[in-house]
Amino acid sequence: MAPKGAWPVGLPGGVKAPDALILPDPATRFARTAARLDSLSVGHPMEEWLRFMARLAKAQHAVARTIAPFAGPDQAAVSQAVDVRLPPLAADRYRRDPRWRDGLALLLDDVGGNVIPAPARLAIENLRNRGAEGMDALADDFLHGGMDTTDAGAALYVAAALQVYFSRLAASLPAPSLRLLPQRGLCPCCGSTPVSGVVTETGQTRGARYLHCSLCATAWNYVRAVCTTCGQSRSVALKGIEGDSGAVKAETCDDCRTYAKMLYQARDIAVDPFADDLATLGLDLLVAEAGWSRHAPNPLLLIG
């Protein structure tokens, strides 16, 4: 059976081509990230922080599992967007259902009901005090890339709630109607940048690379050894931390001087595009010190 949101494409000789895109499964997306974060946190230099991020992912899972479905675009609206090569859930202009704030409220209640660091609790209280209008303003700033660094604490929870909201919307899209964008480095569902890429080791298309959307968690096929920022291939290289498992590498490009994280299931079948990115900030620091800039920020970190 093909993965959810995918359609098979045949190649000569009976070889199956990689599915063009795979829609997210909100029932498993956040639970998988939480479990991976819990696993990676053991003995990690940032153990306490990773356990907090695992707690946040568990709260996202609870919201994704319990909140009522959101009304997404109808078939006509999806077809119209696809026809003009735009993402049907374009994050910077999609009209949000006001009930996304209900998900945010549930998220804050869940996280706040646990023992968490004082700054995290203060950020929750500050966010609650902003009211509906203030929360929507923060969401707009985040989705338009104009978040003030002074709002970073509150932005963590806003971004987490928007991840749940957009993953639920993306999961409801009519997959056969969707197509990749001309800008192949952007998500075909919401137009956001990827958080990382995964080179597969399972299924009928082992070795295929999928980029994973940082917002809605849609995965889409992207040719290997090509820069996800500028699309060039002549100066792409892999950088890693000597002596580690080799499961996570930074793919650098000398043309645009950016890098993106790539995860290899052949090295660790349990890699998760969201959890492993958070757990490898040391790699970000090393590559940044060598002169490359991250292709796009992780929404839960707001660095780039």
What pTM, to 2 d.p., does this model score?
A: 0.92
| C-alpha distance across the termini of the chain, in Å | 38
Specify which residues 17 forms β-bridges with: 9
For the chain, how many helices (H) and strands (E)? 8, 10
> 172: Cβ–Cβ under 8 A, 6 or more apart, which residues?
69, 70, 72
Three-state DSSP state, 155: helix
Spell out the per-residue pLDDT of the chain, length 304, in tens: 333 443 333 344 445 788 999 999 999 999 999 999 999 999 999 999 999 999 999 999 999 999 998 889 999 999 999 999 999 999 989 999 999 999 999 999 999 988 888 888 999 999 999 999 999 999 999 999 887 778 888 999 999 999 999 999 999 999 999 999 999 999 999 999 999 999 999 877 889 999 999 999 999 999 999 999 999 999 999 999 988 999 999 999 999 999 999 999 999 999 999 999 999 999 999 999 999 999 998 999 864 3
What's the gap between Cα 281 and its chain centre?
16
Write down the residue that tokens 């093909």 correspond to. 2
Residue ranges covered by each domain of the chain = 45-177
- Nearest-10 Cα torsion for 70, 167, 112, 97: -30
The amino acid at residue 107 is: L
pLDDT of res. 14: 47
pLDDT of res. 17: 80
pLDDT of res. 9: 36
Cα–Cα dist 228/183, whole Å: 10
Angle of CA points 124, 129, 102, to nearest 5°: 70
Judged by phi (left if over 0) then psi (alpha if -120 to 50, else beta), residue 97 lies in: beta
Cα–Cα dist 292/259, whole Å: 6
DSSP 99-139: THHHHHHHHHHHHHTS---HHHHHHHHHHHHHHHHHHHHHH
pLDDT of res. 8: 36
DSSP 281-301: HHHHHHHHHTT-EESS--TTT
Cα–Cα dist 226/233, whole Å: 5
Selected from 3.90.550.10, 3.90.1670.10, 3.40.190.10, 2.40.37.20, the CATH number assigned to the domain covering 45-177 reads 3.90.1670.10
pLDDT of res. 302: 64
The amino acid at residue 253 is: C
Write the DSSP symbol of residue 12: G
Cα–Cα dist 296/238, whole Å: 17
Write down the residue that tokens 């820069």 correspond to. 227
Contact 267, 288 (CB under 8 A): no
Paired tokens of 129: 């005090």
> 120: Cβ–Cβ under 8 A, 6 or more apart, which residues?
52, 111, 153, 156
Paired tokens of 71: 């009304």
pLDDT of res. 34: 98
Sequence-ordered alpha helix ranges (H) in the chain: 26-41, 47-66, 75-83, 100-112, 118-143, 152-171, 275-278, 281-289
pLDDT of res. 293: 96
